[in-house]
Homo-oligomer: A and B are copies of this chain.
């Protein structure tokens, strides 16, 4: 077994083993990009080390050989008095986890080698600055000494020397600081900083392996759904220095704009700095365009390298580079994170450039992310007061109450249900949970590649970074913008597309489905086979859904129509009626309303199929709370019953577990007259709209919560009876079917299929009953389940293939066994979740249905499902 690979032994296909960074360093080496030499320790070594703190047999030998080879290739040796080898040690898992794991730079320095560096570079200050940085980093990362101890010593030294910046300290100061740092380590840990470079390397490798399991990294993986990885690889690479003087520098860049997708080399750099200085956001870096002006040769070399890399990888690259004394090195390349907007534009433009195929373009865009493109943007016409302007770090718009810590963001958002804007000087990996909870992020420091910017673009969250005009005071929980003081809880609006920040709430506008986005969706529609419908109850929502490409209604909930003030009165009269005749009387006025509802819907939907679900909720939902005395009094008066009668009725409707109670088709078994009224309304509307359109509307009448074939048999008779009553007047097309939302419906789907023209999975209720979890009550324990890793996500978010999916499969097999042409779709919320959409394709569903704003997501996901299936064939 090979455990350690030199960069020239690997390739980009070896990510499982070498991690993303290692595989790409190998690939760059292979294609002739200037990369400092080095080697990668495989993820397998990490997995074994994580399991039992041992190394595989033969690993030590291989490591020794690679060190020797590296020494040979650069002509330097670890610990050498004249040509000492210095290396970086970096983590690199298969999937990028920016900032989550540990890194050690300048490894190999000690009291001897530092002198050699000083001599060789003629720059003692540089050598001792590297040394003190190394000890600081090693002390923090490897020996777990608090970072603050070192910072305090540094601050004290500056104060003592009467200087303001680190750079004002001279070589002697730094040498003294090195001694102080070593003393701190001894004091804190009871052992000395290790002077042997091989020992330094061994400890550093272990520290990187260890960081795989730290809380930050685990949380990041959980939040990003990263599972099934064995561990991280470790990259050991010869150091090059961007901080060796004014002819040195370092930077990060993207081959295209990661915010907009524009094909434009895009990046930032700092001269005389190490890489961490750029990404940490502690110094605000310069635009890469300035490099072109200042050092055109360097820029041209870099530009050529990035062009070569993008063409080679056929995707937008995120690169890190260092210039050491005028010589360019690339330290990393990877597929760059990008906003949804950029992802779409890059995919479409690359297809047009001939770099990738249409199918590849479709697969390049995270279907979930395009939801962002459908959300509001700050309106150009809105009245707004710009209080400050920062960098447009992640586009979109966000509005919410100001909070100043990640914990507050989480508390306000999760516990209080408030929308919040997290305002920080800069963010760090410890803030992830707060960033997740916030609508948007505003920082005072850091650039377009700062932690806040990178993470927000990944999350598709609006971010304004580096708004230098603000002063964040965390302890006082306020932020000052010139004379304006914004306290915790005040509302601001961020415009991540322009970098503007506004006081209060600002008008936003709907996005458009044009340009590259429109093109991508056209391609998706060409490719996909599964239909995409919408869950929408009103003509307005139907219009939005059609604009977003919905091909029909998969779920129209009729109960919302009953809640209008003028209607609910009649519903309540019906509930209080003493007998069927009384209920029928009370239902009469509702018929007219319902007919108008359906006329509105059919008129918008025209010939597109409309699945109309008959009344579903328990009747108590239509009554006031028993504790609301005023409402009870008023209602008793309106309905001309005694308060006692009303209270008796309300208490008789009370249920212990309403989710499992007298609702859905169970109501109609007891009160068939309700469905009769609804079907009458559907028929009257269907006839009228068909006449008006001159083409037949297509209605699918859906009976909810069926658990026994007999329920559907009986109610199909009721529905068919009403339709039959219209005789020859029926000029539209209709089907009668059922929602599949109970385990028993799946288990007996063959019997149910006998009475159904179509089926539609209601995966919300099906998930609740399969798990025995009430969606209304999950807040009490599901977050803890996710925290503890018992669940990887809330079971409502995606189809649970192991449980719910098994039932769905059984249902489909049984139903199609009975009727091979049964139309089967899904209308639970998972119908708009890309992974669930892919799974629906595997299951062989005819369509997915989701909320209007998820329709484009579903269209793209359905196309991706087709591409995936094609690639499986």
A positions within 8 Å CB-CB of B: 655-662, 666, 669-670, 705, 707-708, 710-711, 714, 741-744, 747-748, 751, 765, 768-774, 776-777, 780-781, 784-785, 788-791, 800, 802-804, 806-807
Contacts and interface: CB of A to CB of B under 8 A. Distances in A.
A770 B657 CA distance: 14
A770 B803 CA distance: 13
Contacts of A748: 802-803
Nearest to A710: B790
A187 to B, nearest CB: 32
18 contacts: A657-B657, A657-B658, A657-B776, A660-B660, A660-B772, A662-B780, A669-B781, A669-B790, A670-B784, A707-B772, A707-B803, A708-B791, A710-B789, A741-B772, A742-B772, A744-B803, A747-B803, A747-B806
A766 to B, nearest CB: 9
A674 to B, nearest CB: 14
A476 B111 CA distance: 113
A711 B747 CA distance: 25
B776 A656 contact: yes
A670 B660 CA distance: 25
A737 to B, nearest CB: 18
A670 B748 CA distance: 36
Nearest to A790: B710
Given A657-B659, A659-B657, A670-B781, A708 B790 contact: yes
B765 A744 contact: no
* Tally of this chain's copies: 2
Contacts of A807: 743, 747
Given A747-B803, A769-B772, A770-B743, A661 B777 contact: yes
B765 A742 contact: no
A51 to B, nearest CB: 17
Contacts of A803: 707, 743-744, 747-748
B771 A742 contact: yes
Nearest to A662: B780
B710 A773 contact: no
Contacts of A661: 774, 777, 780
Contact of A785 (B669, B742, B790): B669
Contact of A655 (B744, B772, B780, B789): B780
Given A657-B658, A660-B777, A742 B714 contact: no
A627 to B, nearest CB: 8
B657 A777 contact: yes
A222 B519 CA distance: 63
Nearest to A659: B657
Contact of A788 (B669, B769, B800): B669
Nearest to A715: B790
Given A657-B776, A669-B788, 4 more contacts: A660-B777, A670-B784, A708-B790, A744-B771
Interface SS, A side: helix
Given A659-B657, A659-B660, A772 B790 contact: no
A376 to B, nearest CB: 31
B656 A656 contact: no
A711 B773 CA distance: 14
Contact of A802 (B658, B711, B747): B747
Contact of A747 (B666, B770, B789): B770
Nearest to A664: B772
Contact of A707 (B659, B662, B771): B771
The 7 closest A-B pairs by CB, nearest first: A660-B774, A657-B774, A656-B776, A744-B803, A662-B780, A743-B743, A661-B777
A669 B802 contact: no
A437 to B, nearest CB: 20
A710 B802 CA distance: 13
Contacts of A751: 802
A365 to B, nearest CB: 32
A843 to B, nearest CB: 15
A283 to B, nearest CB: 43
A800 B771 CA distance: 19
Nearest to A768: B660
A660 B657 contact: yes
Contact of A770 (B705, B742, B804): B742
A32 B800 CA distance: 70
Nearest to A772: B742
Nearest to A661: B777
Nearest to A785: B669
Contact of A781 (B666, B742, B768, B771): B666
A777 B655 contact: yes
B743 A769 contact: yes
A765 to B, nearest CB: 7
A788 B670 CA distance: 10
A791 to B, nearest CB: 7
Contacts of A742: 770-772
Contacts of A662: 777, 780-781
A460 to B, nearest CB: 29
Contacts of A774: 655-657, 659-661
A705 B773 CA distance: 10
A493 to B, nearest CB: 33
Contact of A714 (B658, B744, B788): B788
A714 B669 contact: no
Contacts of A770: 742-744, 747, 769
A4 B847 CA distance: 57
A776 B658 CA distance: 10
A804 B707 CA distance: 11
A415 to B, nearest CB: 11
Contacts of A765: 772
A626 to B, nearest CB: 10
A773 B743 contact: no
A628 to B, nearest CB: 14
A504 B670 CA distance: 39
Contacts of A670: 780-781, 784
A803 B741 CA distance: 14
A751 B802 CA distance: 10
A302 B420 CA distance: 95
A579 B40 CA distance: 45
Nearest to A791: B708
A837 B770 CA distance: 25
Contacts of A669: 781, 784-785, 788, 790
A587 to B, nearest CB: 19
A635 B746 CA distance: 47
A246 to B, nearest CB: 56
A482 to B, nearest CB: 42
A742 B773 CA distance: 10
A62 B337 CA distance: 88
Given A655-B777, A772-B744, A777-B655, A790 B711 contact: yes
A828 B822 CA distance: 36
B707 A773 contact: yes
A685 to B, nearest CB: 29
A67 to B, nearest CB: 41
Max chain B Cβ within 10 angstroms of own Cβ: one of A658, A661, A670, A791:
A661
Contacts of A711: 790
Contacts of A708: 790-791
